[in-house]
Structure 1
Amino acid sequence: MSNLRFFSTEDLVIGATVKLSENAATHATRALRLNAGDLIHLFNGDGFDYACELIVVKKSEVIAKINASQARDTESPLNITLLQGISSGDRMDYSIQKAVELGVKQIQPIATERSVVKLSAERAEKRLEHWQNIVISACEQCGRATIPQVLAPKTLANWLSSNSASSATRILLNPIGAKRLAELDKPSGEIQLLIGAEGGLSQAEINLALSQDFQSVILGPRILRTETAGPTAIATLQSLWGDF
């Protein structure tokens, strides 16, 4: 399978031609220096990869013809929703990127009491678009053909108010947690994994999560940074019960 994968917002049909997006065309021509006749794969989130041949390659326009499609078996058997405390700088981007590579199904940014970043409605909308683009780029790289959704940021209390009754396995990473992941029973449905931002969750947030059936879990004797904790926990879940 070619690693030259590009996301498309178009309906992809065998025999049709597709114009690549401006970003994809720029990457194909300037970074990869592709030419007419080169082979690529397109995906649009429907679970398939579409084998294509480039038929027009210009600086301002790249057009591909779709020759075949193939279902991609790259989705994890685990249904993981990552509740990630919003962190600053590149930390949040890293957390989202690695979570997608590791197989999460959905990402819910959480505005925690200790989040350094405070988002207005306008900034939240722009960050949401940015985070979703991070997801798409990660899917291009790792071979996923189904695209996880990044939901609009919420406080933990607001999220819990609309998700109070749940049969999901709820896991709270806590440096003074009572259990290790290997001690939990194998989940039969959704896994909701809650990670704090820089400085972790406040005691009030921890108490709120515990009151809503989150289990307090520790990842070894060392305290991990927020951008390390999520990928580490997801990789451990995949090793215990998933496809690692």
Structure 2
Amino acid sequence: MPRLYLSGPLVAGMVDLPPAAVRHARALRLRAGDALVLFDGSGGEWEARLVNPPPAARVEILRHLPVERELSPAVTLAVGMPANERMDWLVEKATELGAAAVQPLMTSRTVLRLEGERAVRRAAHWQAIAQAACEQCGRNRIPAVHAAAGLEAWLASLPPQAGTVARCVLSAPGQGQALSFAAWVGAAAGWSALTVLSGPEGGLSPEETSLAVRAGFVPVSLGPRVLRAETAPLALLGAWAALSTGS
């Protein structure tokens, strides 16, 4: 069923669709009487029907359904930004796989550099990608995509690690001792949140990895193959999502 995001809070009754939702409804070729689902990001979703088709699109919001499709525990991906459009792709797929938040990072080997207004605009762009991905994949809570930050400053901003908050840094093959993914998740009982740190093209430097370890991040390996910067965090997230779904 077609899904549209509307900024909330939503309530039962008649509402005119905002321009972005009108464009989406037009692209979906919705007609008067068509059923659709609305969500505002606060949780759950609303059954609705289209009363007037675009361009004067109006919908009748019928009833709220307390449907949630989130991962538990929540996962934050902190990623050294890959270059070009690959960060767009990473945000889209991370949303589909269930990430609760994405923190773009600038490291010593990061090609893409964002500061000031440019960082704010790019974060808004990525947030829109996450919203569209939620419309497609069925999530009713939109992950937060934060403005880009420097790795060292971000590590320093983290609160003291609680016993139920797990942190891991993805380790490239041959980059020192690291737990296997299976060994790491073996300690998953009771975790309330996960934060996954992954480097850009070329990975994190040894100094950056050491900083992460001192901040409570456990080096974790995904196997003997070298994965791209946008592939590695998604591989771990996908594996975790599969385990969580099966539990």
TM-score bucket of the superposed structures, by smaller chain = over 0.9
Q: Greater shift after overlay, 155-164 or 42-51?
A: 155-164
| Residue of structure 2 equivalent to 1:51 | 47
CA contact (8 A) 2:25 2:54 kept: no
* CA-to-aligned-CA distance 1:83-108 (integer Å, 9 cap, x gap): 11112222111111111111111111
The alpha carbon displacement at 1:152 in A equals: 2.0
The alpha carbon displacement at 1:164 in A equals: 4.7
Task: Specify which of 239, 242, 245 is matched with residue 243 of structure 1.
Answer: 245
* CA-to-aligned-CA distance 1:63-92 (integer Å, 9 cap, x gap): 111011101121111211111111222211
Q: Which runs of 4+ in 1 moved over 6 A?
A: none
- In structure 1, how many angstroms separate the alpha carbons of the residues matched to 2:195 and 2:233? 12
| Residue of structure 2 equivalent to 1:219 | 222
- In structure 2, how many angstroms separate the alpha carbons of the residues matched to 1:103 and 1:58? 32
| Residue of structure 2 equivalent to 1:33 | 29
Say whether residues 1:233 and 2:236 are aligned partners: yes
Q: Percent identity, aligned pairs only?
A: 37
CA contact (8 A) 1:78 1:238 kept: no
| Residue of structure 2 equivalent to 1:201 | 204
Q: How does 1:1-40 map to 2 (within 5 A)?
A: 2=1, 4-14=2-12, 16-29=13-26, 31-40=27-36
When the two chains are superposed, the root-mean-square deviation of aligned CA atoms in Å is 1.4
State the SS of the aligned residue for 2:133. Answer: helix
- In structure 1, how many angstroms separate the alpha carbons of the residues matched to 2:31 and 2:195? 45
State the SS of the aligned residue for 1:226. Answer: coil
Q: How does 1:44-83 map to 2 (within 5 A)?
A: 44-59=40-55, 61-83=56-78
* CA-to-aligned-CA distance 1:28-61 (integer Å, 9 cap, x gap): 11x22111111111100121211111111133x3
CA contact (8 A) 1:75 1:103 kept: yes
Say whether residues 1:210 and 2:213 are aligned partners: yes
State the SS of the aligned residue for 1:227. Answer: coil
CA contact (8 A) 1:10 1:18 kept: no
Q: Greater shift after overlay, 93-102 or 218-227?
A: 93-102
Task: Specify which of 97, 100, 114 is matched with residue 95 of structure 2.
Answer: 100
State the one-letter code of the partner of 1:149: A
| Residue of structure 1 equivalent to 2:145 | 150
CA contact (8 A) 2:115 2:148 kept: no
State the one-letter code of the partner of 2:178: A
Task: Specify which of 147, 166, 172 is matched with residue 169 of structure 2.
Answer: 172
TM-score by length of 1: 0.93
CA contact (8 A) 1:77 1:243 kept: no
State the one-letter code of the partner of 2:188: K
Task: Specify which of 144, 153, 160 is matched with residue 155 of structure 2.
Answer: 160
- In structure 2, how many angstroms separate the alpha carbons of the residues matched to 1:27 and 1:47? 21
TM-score by length of 2: 0.92
State the one-letter code of the partner of 2:195: Q
- In structure 2, how many angstroms separate the alpha carbons of the residues matched to 1:239 and 1:47? 22
- In structure 1, how many angstroms separate the alpha carbons of the residues matched to 2:125 and 2:180? 34
The alpha carbon displacement at 1:172 in A equals: 0.5
State the one-letter code of the partner of 1:125: V
